Amino acid sequence: MLRAFTYGAWGALSKAIVLTGVLAVAPAAAEPVEIVALGDSLTEGYGLPIQDGLVPQLTEWLAARGHDVRVVNAGVSGDTTAGGLSRAAWSLGPGTDAMIVALGGNDLLRGIDPAFSRRNLDGILQVAQEAGVEVLLVGMQAPGNYGPDYKAAFDAMYPELAERYDALLVPSFFDGLREPGAEPAAPADLARFMQADGIHPNREGVARIVAALGPAVERLIDRAAAD
């Protein structure tokens, strides 16, 4: 009896030791990829219920495609590229893996010199680079009434900075509001996707923007996961 008891006790103990070893070497559950969305009212979700804004809709879009991701809403209404630069560093936490930068619309509305906007965006990308954070830069296009020189300088800063910092690029925040391959839509054609102010997208407009932006964000996630 003593021998049987001893053998049984040892067997139970040995199984416990093996199980403990397995648990010790089992990989920890992967943390979700954290993306900070640095932007203005377009990012913040101005004029919309929280769940209809860009960040919640983008998070839902990514989750539906199997991505374990946390998107932090760092959009501030009225923010310019200067405001974005002033808070870029403290917007990035220790767990931040990537950043979406969508700024410049308010610079346009205020007619700010594109050279100034460019320096600010350059500074934001430097902050991300120093933090080891991958970036998706979302551009804007100036309207023609600013004059050809202003438009050329403003439109060029996004692709040129993306190339300089090896950042991903979406040429225009509003790309999703026109049919693939179509010319930029006239304001009247976009009205059904916009709120009454004609500046901010409505729920359907945000959904279309997310659908166009989403594949680039997936590439951003792949880059962040590879680092």
Q: Which residues span the domain enclosing 57?
A: 33-226
Q: Report which residue type is found at 174.
A: F
Structure tokens at 108: 């346009």
CATH of the domain at 180: 3.40.50.1110
152 assigned to some structural domain: yes
Q: Is residue 147 part of a domain?
A: yes
Phi and psi, residue 136, nearest 5°: -110, 115
Q: What is the DSSP letter of 143?
A: -
DSSP state of 169: E
117 as an active site residue: the answer is no
Q: What number of other Cβ atoms are within 10 A of residue 110's Cβ? A: 10
Which of 107, 122, 197, 222 is catalytic? The answer is 197
The answer as to whether 126 is a domain residue is yes
Is residue 195, in this structure, part of any structural domain at all?
yes
Confirm whether 202 is domain-assigned: yes
- Within-domain flag for 28: no
Pair type for strands 98-102 and 134-138: parallel
The answer to the question of residue 140 being in a domain is yes
Q: What is the dihedral of CA 151, 154, 156, 157, to 10 degrees?
A: 180
Rounded Cα distance between 70 and 97, Å, is: 10
- The amino acid that residue 119 corresponds to is R
Tell me the sheet residues that pair with 194: 201
Tens-level pLDDT at each residue, the chain (227 residues): 333 333 344 344 444 444 444 444 444 557 899 999 999 999 999 999 999 999 999 999 999 999 999 999 999 999 999 999 999 999 999 999 999 999 999 999 999 999 999 999 999 999 999 999 999 999 999 999 999 999 999 999 999 999 999 999 999 999 899 765 555 544 446 788 999 999 999 999 999 999 999 999 999 999 999 88
Q: Does 197 qualify as catalytic in the annotation? A: yes
The answer to whether the beta carbons of residues 73 and 55 sit under 8 Å apart is: yes
Q: What is the pTM of this model?
A: 0.84
Catalytic residue among 41, 79, 91, 97: 41
The answer as to whether 26 is a domain residue is no
Angle, alpha carbons 39-43-48 (nearest 5°): 150
Choose, from 67, 79, 107, 200, the residue flagged as catalytic: 200
Q: Report pLDDT for 8.
A: 46
Q: Catalytic annotation on 166?
A: no
Alpha-carbon distance 150 to 227, whole Å? 37
- Phi/psi for 134 (5° steps) reads -70, 150
Give the pLDDT confidence score for residue 180 in this predicted structure. 59
Domain count of the fold of the chain: 1
CA distance 102 to 145: 22
Cβ atoms of residues 57 and 7 within 8 Å: no
User: Token match 């932090």: residue?
Assistant: 72
